[in-house]
């Protein structure tokens, strides 16, 4: 199986030893504590699950700036985005060297992790601007990722953490949430050697389904991991339980047995386009995938990124040898009326726009809200039924 990034074995920050976990849980209740942002809590979940291997905790400002500016930390290791714990103030923790981090997304704010504080630093306005520009390629506060990043505070608390739980993800999505450790174990149980991963924050229509089939066939993969984001999204995105149900129905009906896993991970969407595509590849290697599908406008939002910026970044900006995972670069896929099948649009040069079945997201939402299924060339009827039920319940 493909090795994780930066180590021979995954080094998850979750405390698996039962006695140690119990001891740490008791200690945490005696420590100075602070409720962190949703983004910082999601970072703890990803650190706990091994997705950010070999990071041991939150970055200091120098490492965060290195990650933002050139995807390289001060020790020379590779990481594509800053992983920070930003606070508005340190009133609750003072100058404590060991603190408890509390979850903003769970009632009662239970402790999600314990941190050994190595540094408390103020992030300057210029540093925040630089990180924002480098990661998001914009400083427009209307960009949902830019807004989330810049409204947490500007005091960075850094140091290694020990993670005690996986926030609401394990309880709310018990059949879907998986750590990188668990996915590696399941891949081994399936006996898969070549595994392609597919990222989604949306339900999968026919074109997405066929793209996965294409990638598996062309790469000679024996396994597919559909890996959906379960964390915070922007307003208007379809909730995770609905996506989960739609995707599971598709896999059940249209993929052979023992060929596809439906899983999810606990992270808040950055909508950072190209840079988030690199991050997605990073934690797909850590979870055991050998290949990763990146299509048009991967992890994008609005008109902030070019259609294929998320592919070209791997050739132009990612340091050589930083990752072993291979990228499957896909074009927009759609149903060809001429060929009566889903195709990659760039591969059929004898087609005009009208030769494809193309529907905007707005049009699809309108149809579903009216109880009308999109054409079978766009969406499986069984998937459309689940989405119609959701939209009509609003």
Q: Is 379 helix (H, G, I), strand (E, B) or coil?
A: coil
Q: Is the CB of residue 329 less than 8 Å from the CB of residue 351?
A: no
DSSP of 233-274 = --TTSPPHHHHHHHHHHHHHHHS-TTSEEEEEE-------HH
Q: Is the CB of residue 285 less than 8 Å from the CB of residue 303?
A: no
Closest CA to 207 of 331, 351, 61, 371: 331
Please list the alpha-helical segments (H only) found in 50-197: 61-70, 125-136, 144-150, 169-172, 180-190
Q: Which residue has the tokens 């050739």?
A: 315
Q: Which of 13, 89, 184, 201 is catalytic?
A: 201
| Residue 350 backbone dihedrals phi, psi, to 5 degrees | -95, 15
Q: What is d(CA 323, CA 80) in angstroms, rounded to the nearest whole number? A: 11
The yes-or-no answer on residue 202 being catalytic is yes
Q: Is the CB of residue 266 less than 8 Å from the CB of residue 169?
A: yes
Q: What is the largest CA-CA distance in the chain?
A: 69
The yes-or-no answer on residue 258 being catalytic is no
DSSP of 176-216 = TB--HHHHHHHHHHHT-SSEEEEEESS---HHHHHHHHHHH
Q: Which of 98, 202, 248, 365 is catalytic?
A: 202
Task: Report how far apart the first and last C-alpha atoms of the chain are (Å, whole number).
Answer: 44
Pairing of strands 155-163, 119-122: antiparallel
Closest CA to 207 of 329, 301, 341: 341
Q: What is d(CA 60, CA 63) in angstroms, rounded to the nearest whole number? A: 5
Q: What is d(CA 394, CA 386) in angstroms, rounded to the nearest whole number? A: 13
**Tally of CB atoms within 10 A around 125:** 9
Active-site residue list:
201-202
């Amino acid at each position: 199986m493909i090795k994780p990034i930066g180590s021979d074995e995954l080094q998850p920050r979750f405390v698996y030893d039962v006695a140690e976990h119990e001891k740490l849980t008791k200690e945490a209740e005696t420590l100075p504590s602070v409720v962190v942002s949703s983004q910082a809590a999601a970072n703890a979940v990803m650190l706990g699950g091994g997705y950010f291997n070999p990071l041991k905790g939150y970055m200091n400002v120098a490492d965060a700036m290195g990650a933002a500016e050139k995807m390289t930390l001060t020790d020379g290791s590779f990481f594509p985005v800053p992983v920070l714990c930003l606070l508005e103030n340190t009133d609750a923790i003072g100058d404590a060297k060991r603190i408890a981090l509390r979850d903003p997304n769970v009632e009662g704010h239970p402790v999600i992790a314990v941190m050994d504080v190595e540094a408390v630093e103020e992030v300057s306005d210029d540093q925040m601007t630089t990180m924002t520009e480098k990661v998001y390629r914009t400083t427009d506060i209307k960009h949902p990722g830019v807004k989330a990043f810049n409204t947490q505070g500007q005091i960075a608390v850094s140091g290694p953490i020990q993670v005690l739980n996986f926030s609401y993800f394990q309880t709310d999505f018990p059949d879907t949430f998986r750590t990188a450790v668990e996915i590696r174990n399941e891949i081994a149980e399936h006996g898969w050697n070549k595994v392609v991963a597919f990222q989604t924050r949306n339900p999968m229509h026919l074109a997405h389904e066929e793209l996965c089939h294409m990638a598996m066939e062309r790469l000679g993969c024996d396994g597919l991991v559909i890996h959906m984001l379960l964390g915070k999204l922007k307003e208007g995105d379809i909730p995770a339980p609905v996506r989960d149900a739609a995707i599971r129905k598709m896999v059940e009906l249209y993929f052979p047995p023992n060929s596809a896993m439906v899983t999810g991970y606990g992270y808040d969407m950055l909508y950072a386009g190209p840079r988030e595509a690199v991050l997605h590849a990073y934690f797909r290697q850590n979870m055991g995938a050998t290949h990763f599908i990146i299509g048009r406008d991967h992890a994008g939002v609005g008109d902030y990124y070019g259609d294929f910026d998320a592919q070209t970044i791997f050739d132009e900006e990612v340091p050589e040898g930083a990752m072993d995972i291979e990228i499957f670069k896909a074009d927009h896929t759609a149903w060809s009326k001429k060929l009566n099948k889903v195709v990659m649009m760039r591969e059929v040069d004898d087609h005009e726009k009208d030769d494809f079945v193309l529907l905007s997201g707005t049009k699809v939402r309108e149809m579903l809200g009216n109880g009308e299924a999109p054409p079978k060339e766009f969406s499986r009827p069984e998937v459309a039924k689940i989405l119609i039920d959701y939209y009509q319940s609003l």
